[in-house]
Amino acid sequence: MGDKKQSSIRINKVYTKSGDKGMTQIVSGEKLSKSDARIEAYGCVDELNCHVGYCKDLLMDTKINDFIGLAEYLTIIQNELFNVGTQLAASNVENEYPQISEESIKVMEQEIDKVNNHLTELESFVLPGGSILNSQFHIARTVCRRAERRVVALAETENVNSVNIIYLNRLSDAFFVWSRWITQLTGGSENLWNPK
């Protein structure tokens, strides 16, 4: 997850009224319209982070011991997503804020492979559903894909560290694999696309 840095952020007032006219200030101090591609990109990552938190809570509600490790890993992902959002909120690629490391991506790939090795080979596309937990992991997957698209769109006009795009791409794959694994562990059956 890169170097651990202690947060020096102090938040003592929730509303400032500074955004009432549709503008917001990014970490560099620059003011942008709330419709700006940069704001949309890190806003979508923030939305994804909320869904990850919900996935984690649903996992813990099951009381299934096999899900504890994944819930703990989702806490790491939430912190990493906050790092992605902070990077996107900075207009300068070279900055002092926490960043995603190549190691974080390797760890995620190992987590994907570890779970995928226990799954059967797919013979059709998977339809979301079967349980609230499965559906929520698919929602997180699709929000992650949207966040990835927003960051790619931002990268077409602004400097964006490509590791953030790779991270989001891999994370959406992880949510797909985890959704299948969850169905397997909870004894459910996969809903497969029937094109008839």
CB 84 within 8 A of CB 101: no
Domains and CATH numbers, the chain: 36-115+126-192 (1.20.1200.10)
* Cα→Cα distances 54→62, 103, 134, 140, Å: 13, 25, 12, 9
CA–CA distance, 118 with 116 (Å, rounded to integer): 5
Pairing outcome for strands 31-33 and 126-127: unpaired
Q: Give the angle subtended at the CA of 143 by the CAs of 26 and 75, to the nearest 5°.
A: 75
Report the mean per-residue pLDDT for the chain: 85
What digits encode the pLDDT tens for the residues 16-43?
A: 665 556 756 667 667 765 557 788 898 8
Question: Between 98 and 176, whose confidence is greater?
Answer: 176
Is residue 1 over pLDDT 50?
Answer: no
Which residues, at least 6 apart from 118, have a Cβ–Cβ distance to it below 8 Å? Answer: 181, 184
Query: Among 51-55, 76-80, 108-112, 125-129, where is mean pLDDT lowest?
Result: 125-129
pTM: 0.86
CA–CA distance, 89 with 105 (Å, rounded to integer): 21
